Amino acid sequence: MSMKKELLRLKRIRNIGIAAHIDAGKTTVTERILFYTGRTHRIGEVHEGTATMDYLPQEQERGITITSAVTTYYWKDHEIQIIDTPGHVDFTIEVERSLRVLDGVVAVFCGVGGVEPQSETVWHQADKYRVPRIAFINKLDRIGANYFNVVDMMVDKFATNPIILQIPMGEEDGFFGMIDLIKMQGIVWEEEDMGATYRYINIPDIYKKSAHEYRERLLEKLSLLDDTFMELYLGGAEIDEELIHKVIRENTIAMRCVPVIGGAALRNKGIQPLLDAIVNYLPSPIDIPPVKGKNPDTGYEEIREPKNTEDFSALAFKVVMDEGRKLVYIRIYSGEIKVGDDVFNVNLNKKEKISRIYRIHANHRERIDEASTGAIVGIVGLKDTSTGHSLVKTRPILLEPIDIYQPVISIAIEPKRNVDQEKLLLVLKRISEEDLTFVLKTDEDAYQTIVSGMGELHLDVIARRIKDDFGIDIHVGKPQVVYKETIEKQVHIEHSFEKTINNINYKGYVSIDVSPGIRGEGIKITSQISEEHPAYPYLQAIEEGILEASNIGVLKGFPITDIEVLVKDASFSSPEFARLTLKMAAYEAFRKGCVDASPVLLVPIMSLTVTTPNEFLGDIISDLNARKCQILSIITKEKITVLNAHAPLTNMFGYSTDVRSLSQGRASFTMFFSHYDRIENG
For 366-412, the pLDDT digits (tens) are 889 999 998 888 899 888 888 788 999 999 999 887 666 667 777 78
Query: Do 142 and 52 touch, CB atoms closer than 8 A?
Result: no
The predicted pLDDT at position 66 comes to 40
Q: What is the DSSP letter of 478?
A: P
The predicted pLDDT at position 465 comes to 79
Q: Which residues of 142-169 are buried (b: 16+ CB within 10 A; e: fewer)?
A: bebbbbebbbebbeeebebebbbbbbbb
d(CA 421, CA 414): 7
- Mean pLDDT over 449-477 rounds to 80
Average pLDDT, the chain: 84
Q: Which of 544, 30, 559 is nearest to 274 (CA)?
A: 30
Looking at the predicted structure, is the pLDDT value of residue 625 above 50? yes
The predicted pLDDT at position 46 comes to 42
pLDDT band at 476 (very low <50, low <70, confident <90, very high): confident
The predicted pLDDT at position 323 comes to 64
Q: Cα(first)–Cα(last) distance of the chain, in Å?
A: 67
Element (H, E) at 196: none
Q: C-alpha distances in angstroms, 85 versus 60, 106, 326, 439, 612?
A: 15, 11, 21, 22, 27
The predicted pLDDT at position 62 comes to 40
pLDDT band at 357 (very low <50, low <70, confident <90, very high): very high
The predicted pLDDT at position 95 comes to 67
The predicted pLDDT at position 23 comes to 67
The predicted pLDDT at position 278 comes to 95
Looking at the predicted structure, is the pLDDT value of residue 364 above 90? no
The predicted pLDDT at position 403 comes to 65
d(CA 135, CA 148): 13
Strand-strand pairing, 78-84 and 177-180: unpaired
Check residues 599 and 190 and name the one with the higher pLDDT. 599
Share of the chain above pLDDT 70, in %: 89
The predicted pLDDT at position 499 comes to 83
Looking at the predicted structure, is the pLDDT value of residue 618 above 60? yes
What single string gives the DSSP state of each residue in 104-144? Answer: EEEEEEETTTBS-HHHHHHHHHHHHTT--EEEEEE-TTSTT
Looking at the predicted structure, is the pLDDT value of residue 595 above 90? yes
CB atoms within 10 A of CB 353: 12
Burial of 13 per CB tally in 10 Å (0-12, 13-18, 19+) = buried
Give the highest mean pLDDT range of 184-188, 195-199, 481-485. 184-188
Looking at the predicted structure, is the pLDDT value of residue 64 above 90? no
Looking at the predicted structure, is the pLDDT value of residue 172 above 90? no
d(CA 284, CA 306): 10
Share of the chain above pLDDT 90, in %: 38
What is the maximum alpha-carbon separation in the chain? 100
pTM above 0.75, yes or no: no
Query: Do 170 and 162 touch, CB atoms closer than 8 A?
Result: no
Least confident of 56-65, 96-105, 573-582: 56-65
Looking at the predicted structure, is the pLDDT value of residue 137 above 80? yes
3-class SS of residue 578: helix
The predicted pLDDT at position 117 comes to 63
Reported as a single tens digit per residue, the pLDDT across 424-435 is 888 888 777 777
Strand-strand pairing, 640-648 and 599-613: antiparallel
d(CA 329, CA 352): 15
- Mean pLDDT over 265-283 rounds to 93
Give the highest mean pLDDT range of 312-321, 441-450, 584-593. 584-593
Query: According to the 3-state scheme, what is the secondary structure of 267-312?
Result: HCECHHHHHHHHHHHCCCCCCCCCEEEECCCCCCEEEECCCCCCCC
- Mean pLDDT over 452-462 rounds to 76
The predicted pLDDT at position 5 comes to 81
Check residues 54 and 273 and name the one with the higher pLDDT. 273
The predicted pLDDT at position 136 comes to 95
Q: What's the order of all strands across the beta sheet hosting 78-84?
A: 69-75, 78-84, 13-20, 104-110, 133-138, 258-262, 162-164
- Mean pLDDT over 535-551 rounds to 93
The predicted pLDDT at position 326 comes to 82
The predicted pLDDT at position 92 comes to 56
The predicted pLDDT at position 146 comes to 92
Strand-strand pairing, 563-572 and 640-648: unpaired
Looking at the predicted structure, is the pLDDT value of residue 179 above 90? yes
The predicted pLDDT at position 52 comes to 42
- Mean pLDDT over 482-507 rounds to 88
Least confident of 232-236, 544-548, 652-656: 652-656
The predicted pLDDT at position 246 comes to 94
Separation of CA 18 from chain center: 12
Query: According to the 3-state scheme, what is the secondary structure of 216-246?
Result: HHHHHHHHCCCHHHHHHHHCCCCCCHHHHHH
Non-local CB neighbours of 90 within 8 Å, separated by 6+ positions: 453, 454, 455, 456, 457, 458, 461
Q: C-alpha distances in angstroms, 5 versus 2, 12, 461, 532?
A: 5, 11, 46, 60
- Mean pLDDT over 484-494 rounds to 93
* Cα torsion angle, 224, 226, 230, 231, sign: positive
The predicted pLDDT at position 511 comes to 95
Number of alpha carbons in the 13 Å side-chain half-sphere of residue 654: 7
The predicted pLDDT at position 84 comes to 64
The predicted pLDDT at position 223 comes to 93
Looking at the predicted structure, is the pLDDT value of residue 157 above 90? no
Check residues 164 and 362 and name the one with the higher pLDDT. 164
Q: Report residue 551: phi and psi, to 5°.
A: -70, -30
Check residues 665 and 288 and name the one with the higher pLDDT. 288
d(CA 581, CA 352): 39
Question: Long-range contacts: 198-205, Cβ < 8 Å, 24+?
Answer: 198/272, 201/177, 203/179, 204/169
Check residues 52 and 127 and name the one with the higher pLDDT. 127
The predicted pLDDT at position 93 comes to 59
Looking at the predicted structure, is the pLDDT value of residue 633 above 80? yes
d(CA 351, CA 332): 17
